[in-house]
Structure 1
Amino acid sequence: MHIPLLLLPVLGALTQASPIISRASSWPNAPFTTSGRDIKNNLNETVTYAGVNWPGAADTMIPEGLQYQSVSTIMTKIKDLGMNVIRLTYAIEMIDDIYENADTSLKTAFIQALGETNGTKVLNQVLISNPSFTENTTRLEVFDAIAAEAYTQQIYVHLDNHVSKGIWCCGHDDGNAWFGDTYFNVTSWKRGLAFMASHASSWPAFTSISLRNELRTTTNGTGDNWVSWYENMIPAADGIYAANDQPLIFFSGLNYDTQLGTIVNGNDIGNGTAFSLHDHAYADKIIWELHNYANSATSCGSIRSSLRNQGYNAMEGGNVTNKAPVLLTEFGFDQNTASQSVYAQCIKEYLTGLPGGPGGWMQWVISGSYYIRQGEQDKDETWGLLNHDWSEWRNQTAADYTKSFVDATLV
């Protein structure tokens, strides 16, 4: 078994940095820790995330959009909104391939996912848009390039394990739903988390990592119980911490990551056990993450109530057993119509109105299109902040909403 060591060129450059570059290199002032409901950098300054999801976990297992724009262009668009973090998604299958053979090349990945003709076409487009890549550039080297550009533009990298098998997420029947599901091999998952935590230690912009995106029941009703959650999530977090004790570790909940109240409140999980932050060596690294897609909401009250009950009470003060920052790592809406909806405005109002600040959020999604989604190649994404070819904002009004949300979050 051969696992390549992929070294970022930027790291070598740092060893010969001029005094000016050296001063700038103090960013991101990591590692981050938690203090109650806040994230702190190593200067004891409060850090708040305001950013966007950049998918890289679907069929190709390559971050989306690179056939249309360069890594630096996409990152610049993100920075233009004032954002300071990307939630970069990946599939465990990518790491399984590395262990079983070698890191898959761009050429192989595109042809496997899109077929010989279209895969070759998209590959050539990627190479034109990103001339530093070759057909032999590997998937993981693309992630490295994104992380290097994030450092250049001072954007934090949050790694998110989105799925095990590289396909569109998420459903009860996709085989990625719960521990032991068709494609959700728990041993491979833990190995993959530790691998990515270790590998990303060479990325200066890497500050946090999640355990799993949107746990949910399988089609036969298996899953969504706290006992199984505890038995699997804790060893996985232990493995990340053993591999790399620097990043924050994000814990998602049940039911598509909409339920964390039991854990936040320290309630019995169903077998006489209760989660306690203080039981873990990485207690000051734990973040709670939630998702919300209540797009049909007609009042801010319903959104406030649901988020509070799902775990946001940890951010509102009062006596909470497991007080830690809560981040909304997914929310979003159709960019063509919904930026002025009750849902969009209330999410913004609630988070920015929290006493002490919002903790952070990542909007779904930057993608204007996908290489392939659920069998459809070059699939348009109406929820994407960017248009189909990733060149401009899909809707300037929606982009203005996001920019104002960033500004209100990072005051």
Structure 2
Amino acid sequence: MRLLTALLGLTALPSALAAFPNVPFKTSKQWFVDSTGANFTYVGVNWPGAGDVMIPEGLQYASIESIVGKIKSLKMNVVRLTFAIEMIDDIKDNGGDVTIKAAFTKALGTKGDTVYQQVFDAVAAELSKQQIYVHLDNHMSKGAWCCGTNDGNAWFGDKYFNTEKWKRGLQYMAEYSKKWSSMVSIGLRNEYRKPDTAGSSLAYNWQVWYDQNVAAANLVNAANPNIIIFFSGLDFDTKLTPIPGAEDLGGGKKFEKSSFKYADKIALELHNYQTSATDCNSVKSGLWNNGFKALDAAAKNQMPVVLTEFGFSQADTTYNSVYASCLRKIIPEWKAGWTVWVIAGSYYIRSGTQDYEEVWGLLNHNWSGWRSTNAVNALKTMVDASFK
């Protein structure tokens, strides 16, 4: 299997790459800063690894080296690598790390004897080899397609969202990923959202958000003080409205950057999928008011903000839409970071469908080339603008 070939073929990094990766990173005002003092902008792509199989997608079609090489060819410098808490639960509660044979049999019936973490290790090693940074993201608790308000992963205490196991999983991955040389940051949770039912044991509000995220961040920082911690917002991570201004979150609690002992290790992330937008100014003002104003020197909590998800179909001309054109313009203008959704041209399994076609994927179904050269060329202009 190509995956095993990729794993067995890993070699030591050449001496020419000795200067990379200039870690650890920290934050200073609106910037990420590497260990040399240079400002760094996140410019990258999402690589899903939190689906039913719970390993990075695409390895039934292409080698890790090939996939990373395609990302590198776009001059991107970071991959948002998603994972599910269920993977850590299997390690901690179910007799140890699960083999790919078990995972793939569940999805596709493919055989293999490598375990989950060896795959993540191999991806991280190849990203470092090609001088690309790793940003881990806890996407889901239960490995599955994300996201819905009825999927049991929406909010603390939801059907599959065991809050203590979530904290344990974050702590575990922060500690485990220390050995990845280009590991720089971790997102605490992807897309908080209000559950459809009353299944959650905790109220859906900013006060609960604060209590749970700060507790988790403290554990992550204790496990690995070198990495930056990303806080995501409510309503599918489209709103961080009270955070830039340190507004009252309820119960007299405020998110104040200065109160963190690791204040230079925190950042914000937002998502945006306004694909039907007809006015760029509306998109711009919405993003700014919902959280990007934290970039401004006047913000009480000035800190970096990264658009960790945005995207659209690669199978049509949406790349020319108001939405896509607007984001290509305003995010680089703000000197903000971004990771586009998604590199995946297909999924092992999604919502019960095997070998699911992902038309939003930058790559084609068999991960051999770009789905749309025109869309990718447009994306390259955003890459170039982000480095100016």
TM-score, reference length from structure 2? 0.94
1:276 aligns to 2:256 (yes or no): yes
The residue aligned with 1:84 is: 77
SS in structure 2 of the partner of residue 270 of structure 1: coil
1:154 aligns to 2:144 (yes or no): no
The residue aligned with 2:349 is: 372
Mapped to 1, the partners of 2:178 and 2:261 lie a distance apart of 19
Structure 1, unaligned runs of 5 or more: 1-7, 15-20, 124-134
**Contact 1:10 1:148 (C-alpha < 8 Å) held by counterparts:** no
Question: Cα distance, 1:12 vs. partner?
Answer: 9.6
* Paired AA for residue 119 in structure 1: G
Q: Select 1:119's aligned residue among 86, 109, 118.
A: 109
**Contact 1:330 1:363 (C-alpha < 8 Å) held by counterparts:** yes
* Paired AA for residue 68 in structure 1: Y
**Contact 2:174 2:224 (C-alpha < 8 Å) held by counterparts:** yes
The residue aligned with 1:3 is: none
Superposed CA RMSD in Å reads: 1.6
The residue aligned with 1:211 is: 188
1:347 aligns to 2:324 (yes or no): no
Structure 1 outlier segments of 4+, above 3 Å: 8-14, 221-224
**Contact 1:215 1:224 (C-alpha < 8 Å) held by counterparts:** no
Alignment of 1:65-144 (within 5 A): 65-100=58-93, 101-112=95-106, 114=107, 118-120=108-110, 123=111, 135-144=112-121
1:289 aligns to 2:266 (yes or no): no
The residue aligned with 1:132 is: none
1:308 aligns to 2:308 (yes or no): no
**Contact 2:89 2:165 (C-alpha < 8 Å) held by counterparts:** yes
Question: Cα distance, 1:53 vs. partner?
Answer: 0.3
Alignment of 1:378-393 (within 5 A): 378-393=355-370
**Contact 1:224 1:255 (C-alpha < 8 Å) held by counterparts:** no
Mapped to 2, the partners of 1:318 and 1:159 lie a distance apart of 28
Mapped to 1, the partners of 2:193 and 2:375 lie a distance apart of 30
SS in structure 1 of the partner of residue 230 of structure 2: strand
SS in structure 2 of the partner of residue 261 of structure 1: coil
* Paired AA for residue 103 in structure 1: D
* Paired AA for residue 227 in structure 2: P
Mapped to 2, the partners of 1:335 and 1:203 lie a distance apart of 32
The residue aligned with 1:254 is: 234
The residue aligned with 1:168 is: 145
Q: Quickly say closer, same or farther: Cα 1:235–1:85, change in 2 above 3 A.
A: same
SS in structure 1 of the partner of residue 49 of structure 2: coil
TM-score, reference length from structure 1? 0.89
Mapped to 1, the partners of 2:177 and 2:85 lie a distance apart of 15
Aligned residues: 377
Q: Quickly say closer, same or farther: Cα 1:400–1:13, change in 2 above 3 A.
A: closer
SS in structure 1 of the partner of residue 237 of structure 2: coil
Question: Cα distance, 1:314 vs. partner?
Answer: 1.6
Question: Cα distance, 1:24 vs. partner?
Answer: 2.3
